[in-house]
Structure 1
Amino acid sequence: MRKPTAKSLILDLLLASKGRPLSAKQAIAACGIFDISVNNTRVALVRLSAEGLIESAGRALYQLTDDAHTLADDVAAWRTRSTRVRQWDGSYIVVQADKLSRSEARQQRARARSLLMLGFQPLNEHLFIRPNNIEDNLETVRVRLYKLGLEKEAPVFQASGFDSTTEHRIATLWNPRELEQNYQQLEKKMRTWLDRFHALEPEVAARESFLLGGTAIKHVVYDPFLPSEWVDVQARKQFLSAVDEVDQAGMRIWNSMWENAES
């Protein structure tokens, strides 16, 4: 669990705030927990504003801009990820994407991020694929991909009937056993922390909840949510339950920190 930068910490706090603005005092207090200086915190606020990621929400108050919300809102929906998984019918969702030039590096990053966040893997240079077991229908998946950065010219469609060799190759694009190990290891770490955080100093508890919760939530955001035919969904369910408990505990800890910072 790496120490966050001032910029990443401020963005993560705004992401977790559910629309509530962040004050400069709160940003300074939070960064101080990670030994980030007041000056570096103020510089980060200025830079985030200049980059169009945050904006003023009042005197010494900041909020995410509309542009930043595009990605942030999808990430913030990690709590409902598991409810958007359905029974797999054996078909796949496929994205066809043309090769981009070096001058289109920004679009390449946006495409890669959107595909990864929805669990797609490359079948070849132009086709990206995943099991068709997320969201209510294909159109919802298509809209999410486009919103997250996939170019709208890229076709998104359902496919099935692959030959046995291709089916086998598709199944090797993910590593279910690694996912299951991550579920178990992270759940164990979170359960251990949940048993002991009450005895920690407030700043230590805040720092640990942020680092541990952030690591776990990142795993949720980028989890492919494979079907039950491929992965132990009970292990995933237990992991997600622990993530939610750490998140709730972390919010209580940080809300207490905010009250002290503003008093």
Structure 2
Amino acid sequence: MKLNYQLAHQRLLADSADKKVLELLSATKGFQQPDINSLSAKQFLNIAKHLELTEASVRMALSRQTKQGKLNRDDGRYTLTRNQNPYVVPRFWLDIKYRCQPWKQDWLLVSFTDAKLSITVSRRLVRRMELLGLKFVPNLGWLRPNNLSELQQEVSYDLSNATQSNDFVCAILTSLDTNQQVRFQKLWPLAQLNQFYVDAEIYISEEMNRTESLPDDDILKRSFAIGRLLVEQLSIDPWLPEEMIDVNARERLIRTSTSYYQQIKPAWLNILDQD
């Protein structure tokens, strides 16, 4: 997927207020400023005015998400629910950066027993596998490079939750020959991943140049629309080892995105502080 504001804006308009409320809290928490780790209803409404959200839809979304346990409300301020289980929250790409470890050409393999899974559970399972960066190999199982710390624990935890069972086995494959290594690496669209890193970095750089001359309300609207699309793509990135992808392009995208996040921060703070 190529980043562009037209697509990002269409997606922003189409998605529900409930989703946007959760994403707004994630976005402001990312600024790493303690006083905006939680937001009041007034602050939500300040932002909502610039995102074409009605006051009624925001208030209803806050109420629904609180009742569903996704938000905490304390002294009139809302925060994302904290869960003590380590792998409940989907992995974010900046977190993964610190989990990379040298790849020893070994692979994590997940195989399932003959347990019967319902269609719903099977779909949930496939979705979880894809989010964890695993690919299916017929007659073998699900596979990915073993290049992240605590990967096996994370996969086991997620799959237990997805299937409500432990009818699977995780194993590490080592000492594979060159042909097998090449075969497995071709499971991922490597050229497509590399091109996304390059194109996204160029687009974010261009957006940084545009931001210099925009008013705060336009900065907030554009950055939220584009940022959520970027995070959506990066949150499903398989985070492959540098032996498989263009790690320099990926690192450039991370650095540029981090700089962009800092550039838009003053505009967001100004709008949050409006009376």
TM-score (norm 1): 0.84
Aligned match of 2:23: 12
Q: What is the alpha-carbon distance in structure 2 between the residues aligned to residue 30 and residue 71 of structure 1?
A: 30
1:1-263 → structure 2 map (5 Å cutoff): 1=8, 2-3=11-12, 4-18=15-29, 20-59=37-76, 61-67=77-83, 73-75=89-91, 77-98=92-113, 100-102=117-119, 105=120, 107-108=121-122, 110-124=124-138, 127-135=141-149, 140-148=150-158, 149-151=161-163, 153=166, 154-162=168-176, 166-260=180-274, 263=275
What SS does the corresponding residue of 1:89 show, helix, strand or coil? coil
User: By percentage of residues, which structure has more helix?
Assistant: 1
Gaps of 5+ in 2: 1-7
Q: What is the alpha-carbon distance in structure 1 between the residues aligned to residue 240 and residue 85 of structure 2?
A: 27
RMSD: 2.6
Q: What is the alpha-carbon distance in structure 2 between the residues aligned to residue 71 and residue 110 of structure 1?
A: 16
Q: Which amino acid aligns with 1:43?
A: M
For the Cα contact (< 8 Å) 1:6–1:41, is it kept in 2? yes
Q: Which has the higher contact order (CA 8 A, sep 6+)?
A: 2
Give 1:122 shift. Answer: 1.3
Q: What is the alpha-carbon distance in structure 1 between the residues aligned to residue 131 and residue 23 of structure 2?
A: 17
Change over 3 Å in CA distance of 1:69–1:188 after alignment to 2? farther
Deviating more after overlay: 192-201 vs 119-128: 119-128
Paired residue total: 252
For the Cα contact (< 8 Å) 2:43–2:273, is it kept in 1? no
TM-score (norm 2): 0.81
Gaps of 5+ in 1: none
Q: What is the alpha-carbon distance in structure 2 between the residues aligned to residue 121 and residue 161 of structure 1?
A: 20
What SS does the corresponding residue of 1:66 show, helix, strand or coil? coil
